[in-house]
Structure 1
Amino acid sequence: MQVWGEGALFTRPELKVERMSYDVPTPSAAAGILESIFWKPEMAWRVSCIEMLKPIRQFTFRRNETIDLPSLADAVTGRRKIDTAAHRVQRNAVCLKDVAYRIHAQVELRDRATKPVAAYRDQFRRRVTAGRCFSQPYLGTKEFTAYFGDPTPDPPIDLSADLGLMLHTVDRSTEPLSFTWFHARMSNGVIDIPLEGIPVQPQPVGAV
């Protein structure tokens, strides 16, 4: 399917304070877009390829954030109120401007699945064509709405680059969160995604 928007912010997790976007969507961000359109507990999305349809352009902006973050248990139960006014900080973000991508993905069935892969794939395609979604998809952060539709024949951009180490998946079942990574390369506007990432510890950007 195809997604596009006025801006995007696929935050690099190794940057703890100022937000800086990867040049392209991460596989986990792309999977999140697919899940917002169609998802069932008996299936999962595996992103296999991302095509860049517009050149990489950046812009910066400053926004207010809070450093008073609740634990997952407090967020679920609502036991603790968040004082955003007293814990507000201003942070810069380096974002992407005027983006468009074509996402290729496969449905992976879990043990509880009662339908063949084709059934889930066809349901997803019907929802994309009709413009339906479970929740509004976004491009990295909720400030940047993702619009979506059927793929067009537009070719990817004519750009090849070594994008370096990139986030592959986030395991939210661990405390703290654990990550896997992969070495991302773009060939003529196409980024192929490996089946699995590797659990390495990236160095902060700018570290010697």
Structure 2
Amino acid sequence: MEHPNIVTFEVYGDYALFSDPIMRVGGEKCSYQIPTYEALKGILSSVYWKPTFIWFIDEVRIMNQIQTEVKGVRTIKYCHGKEGSNDLSYYTYLKNCRYQVKAHFEWNENREELRHDRNENKHHEIAKRMIRKGGRRDVFLGTRECQGYVEPCEFGEGKGFYDNTPQLDFGMMYHGITYADEAYSKETKNKMTINLWHPVMKKGVIQLCRPEDCQVHKTVKEMKIKPFGSENFSGSSEFGEVL
């Protein structure tokens, strides 16, 4: 179903590291071949976000050939030893990355205290303006050292490397995290839940499923919702109108 508040944009950068959170603790890190749902959602949230709504990523188009590059990185040792000692790790990055993204937002039904801020046209227009400006905050492709850049685009325009590739299967991979304030069921209420799914690319395009439609869900821990009240909206451009 097409939503009236769809946004499309292109995000690109020299390097990206879309890894499983389990691999973020330390040691060697290796990127997935494609961006995760959570990473794309984070990119769009850096462009424009408010707790009133939730971004849903609908499609991503892989524009450039999937290539990797290994770099040696000096990291802090996660074991007993001298203070400030370092170790050498090898990180496997994606390089020369470019993606087209289509997404939409829906009201966050867990935020009844923000019901008065549910003005669809306002948020849609602000989001499109922020995409044209390159985002409100810095954009990263998976991790802090991978700077990304956002530009508006028409989804499907231009030539992509995989336009003539019938299908590529990427197996089971990390989809994203459902936090307590984005809970969609009794099982995810007041909990942090990890979602796993099975992405398939067809002619360069991956249709991303919603968090509740993922094949595997794993509860991590109990989590409470941070409340927002009217005092958060007074005199704050972060929660008020964008000038």
Structure 1 length normalisation: TM-score?
0.79
| Cα separation, 1, equivalents of 2:137 and 2:30 | 25
In the other structure, the counterpart of 1:53 is 63
Shift of 1:66: 2.6
SS in 1 for 2:139: coil
Q: What does residue range 90-105 of structure 1 map to in structure 2 within 5 Å?
A: 90-105=88-103
Asked whether 1:64 is paired with 2:81, we answer: no
How far off is 1:169 after superposition? 1.3
Q: How does 1:109-120 map to 2 (within 5 A)?
A: 109-110=107-108, 111=112, 112-113=114-115, 114-120=117-123
Query: Are positions 1:25 and 2:40 aligned together?
Result: no
Say whether the 8 Å CA contact 1:8–1:139 is kept in structure 2: yes
**What is the SS of the residue equivalent to 2:127?**
helix
Q: Secondary structure at the match of 1:135?
A: coil
Contact conserved, 1:3 with 1:147, CA < 8 A, in 2?
yes
Q: Is the contact between residue 66 and residue 84 of structure 1 (CA under 8 Å) also seen in structure 2?
A: no
Q: 1:64 to 1:120 in 2, by over 3 A?
A: same
Work out the CA distance in 2 between the residues paired with 1:171 and 1:84: 36
Stretches of structure 2 that go unaligned for 5 or more consecutive residues are 1-8, 181-187, 220-243
Q: One-letter code of the match for 2:91? A: A
- Shift of the 199–67 alpha-carbon distance from structure 1 to 2, 3 Å rule, reads farther
Structure 1 runs, 4 residues or longer, greater than 4 Å off:
171-174
Does the residue aligned with 1:108 lie in a helix, a strand or coil? strand
* Partner Cα distance (1:200, 1:164) in 2: 18
Q: Quick one: distance in 2 between partners of 1:34 and 1:48?
A: 12
Find the residue that maps to 1:143 and give its secondary structure: coil
Q: Distance in 1 between matches of 2:96 and 2:50?
A: 31
Report the CA distance between 1:13 and its aligned residue. Answer: 3.5
2:227 aligns with none
Q: 1:144 aligns with which of 126, 143, 146?
A: 146
Aligned to 2:217: 199
- Deviations for 1:65-114, whole angstroms, at most 9, x for unmatched residues? 2355xxxxxxxxxxxxxx9723x322111110101001111111123242
In structure 1, stretches of 5+ residues that fail to align are 69-82, 202-208
Secondary structure in structure 2 of the residue aligned to 1:22: coil
Corresponding residue for residue 166 of structure 1: 173
Distance of 1:67 and 1:117 partners within structure 2: 48
Report the TM-score when normalising by structure 2.
0.68
Task: Tell me if structure 1 keeps the 8 A contact 2:60–2:205.
Answer: yes
Structure with more relative contact order (C-alpha pairs < 8 Å, separation 6 or more): 1
Task: State how far apart, in whole Å, the 2-side matches of 1:40 and 1:178 are.
Answer: 21
2: CA distance, partners of 1:169 / 1:36:
16
Paired with 1:140 and 1:150, the residues of 2 have a C-alpha distance of: 20
Please give the root-mean-square deviation of Cα atoms over the aligned residues, in Å.
Answer: 2.5
> Alignment identity in percent?
24
Count, aligned residues: 184
Shift of 1:12: 2.6
> Structure 1 residue aligned with 2:16, among 8, 12, 32?
8
Question: How much has 1:33 moved relative to structure 2?
Answer: 0.4
Deviation at 1:166, TM superposition (A): 1.6
